Structure 1
Amino acid sequence: MQQVPLPPDVAWSTPPLLKARRQARLTAGLVATVVFLTAIAPLATDMYVPAFPRVAGELSSTATQVQLTLTTFFVGMALGQLIGGPVSDQRGRRIPLLTALLAMTAASIVCALAPTIAVMTVARLVQGFAGGWAMVIGRAIIVDLATGAQLVRVLNVIAAVGGIAPIVGPLLGGLILQLSHWRVSFWLVAALGLAMASAVVVTVPESLSRERRHAGGLRNFLIVGRIVLGNREYVGYLLVAGAAMGALFAYVATSAFVLQTMNGLSPVAYSIDFAANAAGMTVAALVAARLAGRVSTRKVILTGQLAALCAGAAMLTGALWFETPLSLAIVCFFVLMTAQGLIIPNGGALASTAVSDHPGTGSALQGFVQWVAAGTIAPIAGLGGATTAVPMAALMTAGITASVVGLLVAARATRDPRPTHRRPREPLRPDPPELVNR
C-alpha cells in the first residue's frame, strides 16, 4: 500500500486526530505560554508579600492571620494540582486550562475588593486552587510533548525564564506600595489572568489525543495514583523537590518580617533583595538547562542541596546565638534561593520521567506535595512572629536535609536522562483507510 498525499481541495476533511497530532508540537510559542502560566504563583504571592504589614493594619488583623492568607493560597494550589492533573488526563488539556484561568481571574478580583481578612482568606484559597489547576496542566502539556534530556532541558528553561516573575513581582509590589495601594497588585494579577487565557487560545493546541486519555472517576484516580506512588524512583524525586519547596517557603513566608521588622529594611529595599535572590535562582536554572545531557542531573541536584544545607545551618547558627544579623540573613537567603534553581526543576523533571505513562497524575501529585509542604511550613515558620528567625532557620535546614535523603536514599540507583538514550515514542496508529491508496 502506498500513501497518497491529500490534495488541497480535500484538506478540510482531514480527521481531527491527525490534525491534533500535527499541531501538538513543542513550539517556542507553546513553551512561552507555559512559562507565562508558571508566573501565576510568584506573581500572586511576591507582589503581595511586601504589603503584609500594611494589610495587617488596614484589615485589622495580626501577622499570623495575614500569613494564613499565604497558607490558604498554597493549600488551594495543592488541591488544584491534585484534582486538575487527573481531570486533564480524562478530559484533555485545553478546555480545563482555560476554565481554570478564568476562575483565577475572578478570584483575583474578589481579593482586590476584599473588605475583611476572612474574605481575603477564602478568595486566596480559590485563587490558589484555580492557579494550581492551570499550572499542573501546563506542566503536563510539556510532558506530553518532550522526553529524556529534552524534558529536563525544557523544564529548566521554563523555570529559568519563569524566574523573571519572582524578580519582577516584589519590585512591582514595592513600587505599587510607594505609588498606590496594595489592592492594585490583585487587579494586576486579574489582568494577567485574562492575558494568559488569550495566550492559551492562540498558542496551545490539544496535546493529549483521545486514545491516550484515561477513564475518569475516583476509582481510576486511586488506581493510577497507587501505580505512580509505587514507583520508588518517582517517590524519591518527589521528596527531593517537595522538601526543597518547604525550605524555600519558610523563607518566603517570614523574610519580610526578618528583614524589615527585625533589621529595618524599607519595603523597596526588601523588594530589591527579594528580586536579587530570585535572579540567582533564575541563573542557576539556566545553568542547569545548559548542563542537561552533559552532566548527571543527580550531581546537579546534589550540588544545590549541599549549598542550601550550608545556608540553612549558617542561618540557624545566626538566629540562635547572634540575633540574625542583616548581612548573614541576606547572604543565606541568596544562597538558599539560588540553590533551588538546581534542585526543584531537576527533581521534578526526573520524577516526571519516572512515570511518563501518567503525566497528568504524576504532575498532580508533584504539585500537591510541593504546595502542601509550602502551605504547612509557612505558618510554622511564622511562629516566631517578628522577634526571632529560629523557627524559619530550623525549617530551612530540616527541609534541605529531607531533600538530600530523598536523593541519596529513596531515589538511589536510578536512570539519568541523556540525549542519546531517549524513551521511545509510542508508534503512530495506522493511517485511516480513506488516506490509503490500495
Structure 2
Amino acid sequence: MSQLMSLPGTDVPLPSLRRQARITAGLVATVILLSAIAPLATDMYVPAFPRVAGDLSATASQVQLTLTTYFVGMALGQLIGGPVSDQRGRRRPLLAALAVMTVASIACAVTGSIAVMMAARFVQGFSGGWAMVIGRAVIIDLASGARLVRLLNVMAGIGGVAPIVGPLLGAVILQLTHWRVSFWIVAALGLFMAVAVALAVPESLPPERRHGGGLRAVMTAGGAVLGQRRYVGYLLVSGSIMAALFAYVATSAFVLQSMNGMSPIAYSTDFAANAGGMTAAALIAARLAGRVATRTVILTGQLTALTAGAAMLVGALWFDTPLALVLGCFLALMVATGLIIANSGALAAAEVPDHPGTGSAVLGFVQWVVAGLTAPIAGLGGEDTAVPAALIMVSGAALSMIGLLVIARPKRPE
C-alpha cells in the first residue's frame, strides 16, 4: 500500500478512491446537463421580456432586474456552493440545490407579481449556480490529466450550444403557448436532473478528503489572489466585457422587437446566430493557442467590441437605430466576447497557480455580479432607446482594454 500513488493533499491512495466512485457515461451526461441549465433558464426567457412586462404590469427596467437577481444568485451560489461541498461532500448538497431550483422555477411560473418574480429568480440562480459548481467539482474529483481536459472541453462545448437552443426554444414556446411554460420546463428539468443525480452521480469526495476550511478559507485565499496585480487586470478584462455582453442580452429583445418590429421567431434566430458566432470565435481562439500571442487575440476582440459599441452609439443618437446596423453590432460584440472571455480566464489562472480554485471562483463571481448589475442599468432608457446599451458597450470595451494594457501589462525585463 505504501507504494501506491496518493492524490495531492491527501494520504488516501488513488486506487482506493477510484474504487469508491468512477466516471460513467451517465455521470458525464448529468454534469453536462447541469452546466447547461443556467443559459437555458436565461435564454428561453429573454425573448418573452416584452410580454412579461405587459402581463406583470412592469417596466422594462423591472423585467431586466429579474436578470440581475438571477445573475447575482448565480454568482453567490458558485462562490458558496463549492466550499460547502468541500466540507460536506458533493451528492447531498447537489440534490438539495436541485430541489430548491425546482421549487423556485415553479414560483416563477405561477407568480403574478414582478417582486415575487425577482425573488424567485434570485433563488433559482443561487441554487443553479450551486449545482453547477458542484457538478464541475465531481468531474475534477474523479478525473485528471488529459481525461480531465477532454471532459471539461465537452462541458464548455455544451455551454456554447445551450445559448443557441435556448432562445429558439423560448420563441417556439411564445408562438405556441405562454411564456410561463419556459419556467415549467426548467422545473421539469430540475426534477429530471435530481433523478439523474440519484441514479448516476456517486459521492466523489469521501469523508477523509473533506476539510473544514469553509468560507473563511475562501476569504483568505481570495485576498491572496486579489493581491496579484496582473490577476486583477485580467479580472477587469473579463468583467468589463461581460458588462458589454449583458447590455446586449438585457436590451436586445426590446431593441429588435419593440423598436424594429422583429417577430419572436426572427429575434430568437438572430440571438442563436450571434451565440453561434461567439462559439465559433472561441473555437478559433483555441486553434490560435500557441500560434498567436493570447494577449494579441484578446486585444483584437477588445478593438472589435469597441468599434461595435461606437457604431451602435452613433446609430442610436443620430440615425434612429437602423436594424441592419444593430444586427451587425450585436454580432460583432458576440464574436469579440468569444475571443476575450476564455483567454482572459486562462491568463488570470496562470497568475495565481497556488490558488487555481479560488481564482476561478472569484472570476466567476465577478462575471455574474457584473452581468446582474448591468441588466437594469442598460434598461434605464426604457423600451424606445438603445443609447444606454451602446454606452455600456463602449465603456465595457474601453475598461477591458485598460485592464489588459495598463493593469495586466507584461513585466519589464530586468
With structure 2 as the length reference, what TM-score do the two structures score? 0.87
Who is 1:76 aligned against?
73
**Is the CA contact 1:242–1:373 (under 8 Å) kept in the aligned structure 2?**
yes
Aligned with 1:197 (options 179, 182, 194): 194
| Cα separation, 2, equivalents of 1:409 and 1:140 | 34
Aligned with 1:181 (options 178, 184, 198): 178
Who is 1:334 aligned against?
331
Who is 2:106 aligned against?
109
**Is the CA contact 1:151–1:349 (under 8 Å) kept in the aligned structure 2?**
no
Who is 2:275 aligned against?
278
1:412 aligns with 2:394: no
The total of aligned residue pairs comes to 404
Aligned with 1:165 (options 147, 162, 166): 162
Who is 1:300 aligned against?
297
| Cα separation, 2, equivalents of 1:212 and 1:193 | 28
Q: Which moved more, 1:179-188 or 1:104-113?
A: 104-113
**Is the CA contact 1:160–1:283 (under 8 Å) kept in the aligned structure 2?**
no
| Cα separation, 1, equivalents of 2:255 and 2:213 | 46
Structure 2 CA distance for partners of 1:180 and 1:381, relative to 1, 3 Å:
same
Percent same amino acid at aligned positions?
A: 73
Who is 1:400 aligned against?
397
Structure 2 CA distance for partners of 1:369 and 1:151, relative to 1, 3 Å:
farther
| Cα separation, 2, equivalents of 1:32 and 1:289 | 24
Q: Secondary structure at the residue paired with 2:346?
A: helix
Who is 1:348 aligned against?
345
Who is 1:65 aligned against?
62
With structure 1 as the length reference, what TM-score do the two structures score? 0.82
* Equivalent residue runs for 1:137-286 within 5 Å: 137-141=134-138, 157-201=154-198, 204=201, 213-286=210-283
Which residues of structure 2 form unaligned runs of 5+?
5-11
Who is 1:40 aligned against?
37
**Is the CA contact 1:156–1:289 (under 8 Å) kept in the aligned structure 2?**
no
User: How far 1:36 sits from its partner (Å)?
Assistant: 2.3
| Cα separation, 2, equivalents of 1:50 and 1:81 | 26
Q: Secondary structure at the residue paired with 2:380?
A: helix
User: How far 1:411 sits from its partner (Å)?
Assistant: 2.8
User: How far 1:35 sits from its partner (Å)?
Assistant: 3.5
What value does the CA root-mean-square deviation take over the aligned residues? 3.0
**Is the CA contact 2:83–2:215 (under 8 Å) kept in the aligned structure 1?**
no
Q: Which moved more, 1:299-308 or 1:262-271?
A: 299-308
**Is the CA contact 1:103–1:130 (under 8 Å) kept in the aligned structure 2?**
yes
Q: Which moved more, 1:330-339 or 1:61-70?
A: 61-70
Q: Secondary structure at the residue paired with 1:383?
A: coil
Who is 1:429 aligned against?
none
| Cα separation, 2, equivalents of 1:295 and 1:152 | 21
Aligned with 2:96 (options 95, 99, 102): 99
Render the CA deviation track for 1:256-287: whole Å, top value 9, x for unaligned.
11111111111111111111111111222222
| Cα separation, 2, equivalents of 1:144 and 1:42 | 25
Q: Secondary structure at the residue paired with 2:224?
A: helix
1:126 aligns with 2:146: no
Render the CA deviation track for 1:324-345: whole Å, top value 9, x for unaligned.
1100000110111122222212
Structure 2 CA distance for partners of 1:165 and 1:184, relative to 1, 3 Å:
same
Q: Secondary structure at the residue paired with 1:270?
A: helix
